[in-house]
Chain A
Amino acid sequence: MTSHVALRGVSRIYPGKPEVHALGPIDLELARGEFFAVVGPSGCGKSTLLDVIAGLASPSTGEVTFESKRVKGEVPPGIGVVFQEDASFPWLTVHDNIAFGLREAGAAEGEVAAQVGYAIEFMGLKEFARAYPAQLSGGMRQRVCIARTLVLKPRLILLDEPFGALDQQTRLLMGDELLRLWRETGATILLITHALDEATMLADRVGVMSARPGRFLDIISTAWPRERDSTIVSSESFGRLTSRIWTLLRGESIRALGRA
């Protein structure tokens, strides 16, 4: 079975004196429809990994393939990205933000209205459809960004610490939403997070990254059923998996802190 996304020998090195070896080498294969999480200490290159997969940055060595085609220089169609920082467009209403991609693609207004309406309902933004991002909280703005990505029906969704600024309870709920989205769309998801419990709870497999230059120390399968939600945090295997990940990460985090 061909993988949906494949990275072979990918690394990213920033030129200069001295060179900064930010990432790699990385070998990774994602199956279609899988939920993959990446955890690692700060500065290990997780965001760089996302940039390279999306085509926002070119790998210095190795190659990235998406749907059997090489990714280089530009973002291929079918990929959606939710960034760590707020990427909502402040000059557009929530509705127009979400409609942005569809309108750029030249969809008819009727189609746009239908799709956007659905996405707004799905993400619980109905009351705020005519509001501007400045009037919303950080969490709501992230939901707008997710809806904006969702509505284009991407086959691969990349998320870079999307719930970074939120409190724990909201994160758990947003995690449930993300799982719901995943099941509805059948997309392949790559989630970058610093929160171990979030990674363990949400993903089919968790990639544990080393300190810079980031490489995968291990990839752990969680073996969760597809129909899952945040209540699995109370199961026994959840605790075991999380402590296994932390054991791997602890040394790396100390190294990263020492270097930082």
Chain B
Amino acid sequence: MKTHTRVAASLLALLCLSCGGTERTRSTFPLVVSKESGALVTDSGWTVTLTSATASLTSARFFSGEVPAISRRWSPLDLLISTAWAHPGHYVPGEALGELLTPVEVDLLAGDTPWGTVSAVTGRYGSMQLTLGSAGLRLAGMATKDMQTVAFDTQGFAPAAPIEAIAFAHDMDASAGQVRLAFDLKATVSRMDFAQVGTGANPLDPASPCFNGFGRGVQDSSAYHATWEVEQ
């Protein structure tokens, strides 16, 4: 069964349950897309200035399962964060709680972009899943380091599988508000080393380590921040 069919079936089942007197009730909320602010500096010391940043998104799904964190390096946050089952691949999405299936093209440099309305149910949310369209995420601009400047265009990259386990811990009730999905492009570009662009940076050689770093950044679920914003 395809993922969207499973999600739809789960949502239907949850809605049916809610008819029987459980705590879950039907809900909707807006989803808005943006990017985090701040300077983009890669691990290898390149400062990136973007002239274009576009994302092709096809679906967002919300689940009850919380995000694993076993593999992060130790940090003081580890004392605060309950973590994962001790096994690779054991991020368990859990119950499907909401979905938005309307494709959208987003200009990440243009500010907030309303994506649409999520069909959902109330309950404890733990994570979301994001599917990129075939055009994927594309970044273009300049990277500078030690008086060297590299003009680049990544071309579009879309992971073969949805980006899973984007953290979204929230008790969803009937309160008015919206979910903000913010692209953390600093995390996206962090692995890119513009000294290793293979046959070229504009367009970026897809066989180069720099493109590999870009692809890993796109697949990094910590590069997407999902938060609930209460309506003022």
Q: Are both chains from one complex?
A: no
B residues in contact (CB < 8 Å) with A: none
